[in-house]
Amino acid sequence: MLRSTLLFAACLSVPAIAAAQDAASQDLLDCRAIGSDKDRLECYDKALDDQYGIDEDLQEKRAQYRRERFGLPVDDSGMQLTELEATVSGVESDMRTGQTTIALDNGQHWHLTSSGGLRARIKPGMLVVISESGTGGYRIRIPEKTGFKGVVRVR
C-alpha cells in the first residue's frame, strides 16, 4: 500500500516538474529574442535566479567588479558605479609637472585635474568619496568637509 502511494505521488510530481522546466525554458527563449545586450543579460539573470535561486556569492563578485571598474569607461556589460568610497593609501606630487596622483586602498590611482574648492589637503589614511560630476567627469571630496576637486582615473 505504501509503495503504491509513493509511486502515485511520484507520478503526480513528474508533470509539475516538467511544466516548471518548460516555463523556465520559455523564459530563456524569451530572453534570447531581446536585442539590447544589457537588457538580454538582465533577462537571463532573472530567469536563472527564478529557476535556481539567487546566488549571493555571484552578486558580491558582480558588486566587486563594478567597484574595480569605477571611473573607467563603461565596458560591454554597461556596468558602472556612480559613487565610490575608499581610503587614501598614498599621495604623490610631481613638482615638475604639477600633477598630483592619489592612490586608494583598492588599488586605483586618480590624478587631480582641478584645484576646485576643497578646503582640506588629501592625506594617506583619509576616507574620500569619488563621484560623477554633473559634467560627465569625476570629483573627489572628503566627507564632512566642504568642496571638491576634479579627478580622472589613471589606473
Residues 3 and 81: their CA atoms lie apart, in Å, by 57
Q: pTM value?
A: 0.51
Q: How confident is the model at residue 18 (pLDDT cuts 50, 70, 90)?
A: very low
Residue 89, class by beta-carbon neighbours within 10 Å (0-12 exposed, 13-18 middle, 19+ buried)?
middle
Question: 3-class SS at 59?
Answer: helix
| Stretch among 6-20, 78-92, 109-123 having the lowest mean pLDDT | 6-20
CATH 2.40.50 placement within the chain: 83-153
Query: Cell 535566479 identifies what position?
Result: 49
Amino acid at 144: E
Where does 83-153 sit in CATH, by number? 2.40.50
What is the grid cell recorded at 55? 546566488
The mean pLDDT value of the chain amounts to: 80
Q: What is the pLDDT of residue 3?
A: 59
What is the grid cell recorded at 53? 535561486
Residues 76 and 59: their CA atoms lie apart, in Å, by 18
| HSE (side-chain half, CA atoms, 13 Å) at 17 | 6
The counts of H helices and E strands in the chain are 3, 6
- pLDDT tens, residue by residue, 50-98: 888 888 888 888 888 777 777 765 555 555 567 889 999 999 988 888 8
